[in-house]
Amino acid sequence: MSSNDITKLTVPDNFGDSHDSDVWSIFKIMGEFVEGYDKLFKIGPCVSVFGSARTKEGNPYYEMARQTAKKITEQGFGVITGGGPGIMEAANKGAQEGGGKSVGLGISLPHEQGVNSFVDQEYIIDFHYFFARKVMFVKYAQGFVVFPGGFGTLDEFFEALTLIQTRKVNAFPIVLIGSEYWEGLIDWITNTMVSNGTIAEEDVDLFHLTDDEDEAVEIICDFYQKHTLSPNF
C-alpha cells in the first residue's frame, strides 16, 4: 500500500465543541480525589482486595476471599474493595465478620448495580473515573491481595507492580492467591519477559503466590515488622 492509498484524517467541524465541558470536568475529577483522600485518610491502614465480580458464593475462591479479609481485619487493617459482587462482596463480608472497616470504592458501570450490602455505609465512595478510583486503591493500601479475576484485576495488579518497580510509590506486599489460575501468567512473566530483558529478574520478587489465606496475611504482617505503616505516596 502506498501513501497515496491512505485516507487522510478528516477532523469534523464540531470536534472542539466540547471544550468547555472538558475543562469544567476537571472540577469533577478534583472532587473525586478530595472525597477519596479525605475518607480514606481517616480510615487508616487498609489492604486492597481484588478479584472477579463474576465469582459466585459457593466458589472456593469466594470463601477464601471472605476468610482472608476476615483475618486481615483481625490484624488491625481495614479492607478496601471495588464494592461490587463476587470476590469484592466476599472480602467486604469477611471484613465485617472480622470486626474491621469494610470499604467500597464503587464505580458507575452499566452491568453492575451499586455497592454490595457488606460495605460499611460510612465507607462508600462512588467514582465516575476509573483513574481516580485506581489512585485510591493504592494511596492508603498497605498491601494488595489479588484473587482470580479479569481485565480489571489484571489492571490493578500490573499498575501496582509498575508503580513499585519505578519507585513512584513506597513498596508494599502484593499477594496473588490461586496458583492454578495464576501459574500461566507467572510462567510468561518469568520465561518470556525476563528472558527477553523487558523486566529485570528481581522484578519477579515484587509479588508472592500462595494458595493459603493464612500465608497471605502473614506475608503482609511480616512486611510491616520491618517497614513503617504510611501512605504510599
For the four alpha carbons of 17, 21, 24 and 26, in that order, the dihedral sign comes to negative
Mean residue pLDDT of the chain comes to 93
Q: Name residues of the chain where pLDDT drops below 70.
A: 1-5, 16, 111-113
Set out the domains of the chain in order of their start, with CATH numbers: 45-223 (3.40.50.450)
CA dist 104 → 88, 131, 229 (Å): 8, 16, 21
Name residue, grid cell 472477579: 52
Q: Please give the pLDDT value at position 8.
A: 80
CB 116 within 8 A of CB 83: yes
Burial class for 188, CB neighbours closer than 10 Å (0-12, 13-18, 19+): exposed
How wide is the angle at C-alpha 49 spanned by C-alphas 43 and 53, nearest 5°? 120
Q: Please give the pLDDT value at position 131.
A: 95
Query: Which segments of 44-150 does DSSP mark as H helices, in order?
Result: 60-74, 87-97, 130-139
CB 92 within 8 A of CB 83: yes
* Residue length of the chain: 233
| Gyration radius of the chain over CA positions | 20
Q: Please give the pLDDT value at position 231.
A: 86
For the four alpha carbons of 111, 113, 115 and 118, in that order, the dihedral sign comes to negative
Q: Please give the pLDDT value at position 112.
A: 62
CA dist 109 → 58, 88, 127, 217 (Å): 25, 15, 10, 31
- State CA 5 to chain mean position distance: 45
Q: What H or E segment, with its residue span, contains residue 81?
A: strand 78-81
Name residue, grid cell 519505578: 166
Name residue, grid cell 511480616: 222
- CA gap 71, 76 in Å, rounded: 9
What pTM does this model have?
Answer: 0.91
The string of pLDDT tens digits covering residues 11-32 is 777 776 777 788 888 999 999 9
- CA gap 118, 121 in Å, rounded: 9
Q: Please give the pLDDT value at position 233.
A: 84
Q: What DSSP assignment string belongs to 128-171?
A: S-HHHHHHHHHHTEEEEEE-S--HHHHHHHHHHHHHHHTTSS--
The string of pLDDT tens digits covering residues 127-163 is 999 999 999 999 999 999 999 999 999 999 999 999 9
Q: Please give the pLDDT value at position 11.
A: 78
